Amino acid sequence: MAVADVRLLGEGFSPAEELATFTSAHPEAGGIVSFLGQVRAEGGPGAVEALELKHYGAMTLPGMEALAATTQARWVLDGLLIVHRYGVMHPGDPIVLVAAAARHRRDAFAAADFAMDHLKSQSWFWKREKTARGWRWIEPRPDDHRDLARW
């Protein structure tokens, strides 16, 4: 089984550099699929000025590592990358990067999708956003739970 690279970061990261490093480490892969989640840059009166992710340290990284192991057990992967931020972020800042490398594209697509659905709905993060009206907590949407139920 390939070793997963799972990281929880309190500072920013470069998605392009992360993906370039991951890709070069897996030349045997026939497909590499990635997902980048970033803070939305919206206009208007309800625009997000900042996003904050809080987490419980004793559970977050071990939970992410367990998710990686579950993902790797379900699909034949050459590599898996999960990088997730916490702290205060601003529009355009990357939040999460998931990449899966596999000999065959379907395994890579499914693994990345599975990992993201779990990070979005069953994660160890509490999310709030700041708009002109102040801070408000954000809960997973019903669509997030439906996505998770597919698995």
Element (H, E) at 151: none
Q: Which domain holds residue 76?
A: 4-149
Q: Each residue of 101-149: pLDDT tens digit?
A: 999 999 999 999 999 999 987 778 999 999 999 999 988 788 877 877 8
Give per-residue burial for 33-44: e unless 16+ CB within 10 Å, then b: bbeebbbeeeee
Tens digits of residue pLDDT in 10-64: 999 999 999 999 999 999 999 999 999 999 887 777 789 999 999 998 899 999 9
| CATH code, domain carrying 76 | 3.90.1170.40
Total structural domains within the chain: 1
Quick one: three-class SS letters along 43-90? Answer: CCCCCCCEEEEEECHHHHHHHHHHHHHHHHHHCCCCEEEEEEECEEEC
pLDDT at res. 145:
75
